[in-house]
Structure 1
Amino acid sequence: MAEIQFDNVDSILEEFKDLEDPRSPINRRHPLGDLIVISIVAVIAGADGPTAIGTWAENNREWLEKQLTLPNGIPSHDTFDRLLRALKPTAFQSCFETWIVRVLPTDDSSDPKQIAIDGKALRRSHDRSKGLGPLFLVSAWAVDAGVSLGQLATEEKTNEITAIPELIDQIEIEGSVVTIDAAGCQTAIADQIIKAKGNYVLALKGNQGNLHQAVQEYVIEHMENDFADIPARKYFERLKGHGRVDEITYYQMPVPPHLANKEKWSRLKTIGVAIRISESAGKTTSDVRYYICSVPMGVKKFAANVRGHWAIENTLHWCLDVTFREDENRVRDRTSANNLAWLKRFSLSLLEQQNDKYSIAMRRRVAGWNINYLAQVLGIPTV
């Protein structure tokens, strides 16, 4: 992983110097930069909302006074609450761009990087009194680096189709393979990825009825004689994690010349299938997923892309739910929930970069217990 290095907290404050302060100038007692830095640091150290951020700050007053100006002392939790409600999420996230670039590892590999895009509901963010369901977030995750590249909030899961193109516009995808679940399997999205000089691996389901059926029938037809008549490739792997064992068989083949609606998909080159048999708690389940791809033949790379997309579930979403308790968060205000969700994703990205024996959950605990370890996560040299 890349080493994150700042000279001091002032270097971090530079990331936010152009962020517009949304607060009223009347009775504005705390610098915006101080509030944001405290919020970032507190969330890394275990805070899950404005009250916890304020409590963490009060209990780490001595360290914060050495790092920040704090002209009027430690801000209250109400101050953090008002700020998170007022900050524009897109502007707030854009301030992290150079920090994210600094976090991304640099290597000389010629293999394209993978960006997984997927949605997740904040289950307890609903507000029945206002007729609002759970807030739904679409996230972009750099699989190789373990870094969150961006997110967009929508009111409904059905809006994921419109959120994905907006998110793609916000991130750099040139030279990357973008993987998306079936909700994002749209001709316009495929075309957008190709125009941005990326490639795609898109999951197929019933939302692309004719194409899904045609791919399914083609695969099943040739599976009967073990793909003897076409240049298909096969790869098998066995994975363990979170108390589950997965046995997965992948097949990849060139796109059939007469595949239905083939011409609608930009640079469609290959199709694939992943057959997964999972065993967990004594129960066995199976799952078959079909894919259309602009990537060329290479079944091991295809398998890595499929597996890498599952990582957004196993690494990002699972960790946010278990370690950051995201599904338990009952923040009702949409803007505040969006900003807190981004702080958690960015904190997870920083924790992912640490090269030590700890799990992500333990790294977060240690960051809360040990101020020097917390400084290390932030990239601030310790004395």
Structure 2
Amino acid sequence: MPSIMDAFADLRDPRCRTCRYPLPEILFAALSAVLCGVEDWETTTLWARTQLAWLRTHLPYENGIPSPDTFARVFGALSVKAFEQCFINWAGQLCPALEGQHIAIDGKAVRGSRSGTHSALHLVSAWCSDTGLSLGQVSTSEKSNEITAIPELLAALNLEGATVTIDAMGTQHTIAEAIVKAGANYVLAVKDNQPGLAEGVRRWFAAAQDGRLESSYWEHVEHDKGHGRLETRVCRVADDIAWLAGTGQHWAGIERLVMLERTREQGGKTSTESCYYISSKAVKAAEMARLIRAHWGIENQLHWVLDVSWGEDASLIRDKVAAQNMASLRKITLNLARLEQSRQPKKISLKNVRNLAAWDTALRDSVLGLV
């Protein structure tokens, strides 16, 4: 595994003079502290002071450990773009080839960063469902949204041969074209932010199911039972796309129309929901159903874990730059914890990987790639 500290070797120190606390020492202390369960600058300083002997086995720390204010100032001044690029480059070494992989892209607000009239920091992340690793993140500006951030994130990743899934916010002609130009495939959710496309796809499947079309479709049915609930998912996939051109809908590389119907039975009540997608990946219903379901792993294996186990939403770092850089640290340490989890002979929770890193310096060295 590439050393995480090597990934930040070329990061420029934002301070314009020689300082008591070199940037690598600040980064290493903060990264190690977050790995061991720390969530704020004050606790970072306290943790690092108790771990000074261990820290000095890797870097000099001639002047000891910085104050919480120093950590806050440095992380509030570091270039978020440069810091994220270091993260993306490092993650790219962990996953050097994404061919055949599924990449989910989704946004999340860091709620604790909200202050006064300023909205919370909103980050768009790329996550690989096959490895469980976060591949990178970019932020949206306060006057923008995910539509402008997603192309920036796509451009930073080597997506050749991958399949990218995005919810309806990312169903834009420019985003579909960017994915195809990158040599990847897409599965994009269709909702009323693209009203002409949404209405056309809904009508096509309604007509096909009623027998009003000669065209057919593939169908795959799954059942999921648990917690007193029975869910049936029916995925229908069609390759009849020629009619779209006549409606003015021109989507780069499009090969499939998709309908996913979910029926839930619980407590004597039944509810049905239908969702629609377009895709450039020429697969049948079973594989399409797998990709759509895999997309939501980003919610419970990345976003949920960041909130519950890494305390992201509870973080009160208000400075947007510092909050964004801390978000990168969280994702980096989550990746490190997942890699260690996969190496353990018996499965242990991510929480206990962090506990072990906090208690056992030899394991901490291993997690950080220092041995």
State TM-score, norm by structure 2. 0.90
State the Cα distance separating 1:184 from its structure 2 match.
Answer: 0.6
- Once the two structures are TM-superposed, the CA of residue 322 in structure 1 deviates from its matched residue by 0.9
Compared CA separation, residues 380 and 239, structure 1 to 2 (3 A)? farther
**Structure 2 residue aligned with 1:181:** 167
What amino acid is the match of 1:36?
A: L
Asked if structure 1 preserves the Cα contact closer than 8 Å seen for 2:190 and 2:277, the reply is yes
1:125 aligned residue: 113
Change (3 A) 1:134 1:284: farther
1:73 corresponds to 2:64: yes
Q: Cα distance, 1:99 vs. partner?
A: 2.6
Aligned counterpart, 1:147: 133
Written as runs of structure 1 = structure 2, the 5 A alignment for 1:128-277 is 128=116, 131-156=117-142, 159-224=145-210, 229-239=214-224, 246-259=231-244, 261=247, 263-277=249-263
Aligned residue type for 2:100: P
2:14 aligned with 1:22: yes
C-alpha distance in structure 1 between counterparts of 2:104 and 2:74, whole Å: 30
Task: Give the total of aligned pairs.
Answer: 366
Task: Specify the alignment match of 1:115 in structure 2.
Answer: 103
Q: Residue 271 and residue 75 in structure 1: after superposition, are their counterparts in 2 closer, same or farther (change >3 A)?
A: same
The change in CA–CA distance for 1:242 and 1:344 in structure 2 (over 3 A counts) is farther
Any idea what SS the aligned residue of 1:133 has?
Answer: coil
Question: What RMSD over aligned residues (CA atoms) do the two structures have, in Å?
Answer: 2.6
- Asked if residue 32 in structure 1 is aligned to residue 23 in structure 2, the reply is yes
Q: Distance in 1 between matches of 2:77 and 2:330?
A: 18
Structure 1: runs of 5 or more not aligned? none
> Could you tell me whether the CA contact under 8 Å between 1:103 and 1:350 is conserved in 2?
no
**Gap runs ≥5 in structure 2:** none
CA deviation after TM superposition for structure 1 residue 102, in Å: 3.4
Residue number among 78, 92, 111 corresponding to 2:83 in the alignment: 92
Q: Tell me the secondary structure at the aligned position of residue 148 of structure 2.
A: helix
Cα 1:215–1:378 shift into 2, 3 Å: same
Q: Structure 1 301/158 Cα, relative in aligned 2: closer, same or farther at 3 Å?
A: farther
Shift of the alpha carbon at 1:380?
2.8
Pairwise mapping of residues 296-335 of structure 1 onto structure 2 (< 5 A)? 296-335=282-321
The CA distance in 2 between the partners of 1:157 and 1:300, in whole Å, is: 40
Match of 1:104 among 87, 92, 95: 95
Return the TM-score normalized by structure 1: 0.87
1:362 maps to 352
- Residues 165 and 348 of structure 1: is their aligned pair in 2 closer, same or farther, counting only changes over 3 Å? same
Residue deviations 1:133-178 (CA, integer Å, cap 9, x gap): 1111111112212221111112449511111111111111111111
Deviation at 1:12, TM superposition (A): 4.2
Tell me, yes or no, if the aligned pair for 1:262 and 1:268 is still in contact at 8 Å: no
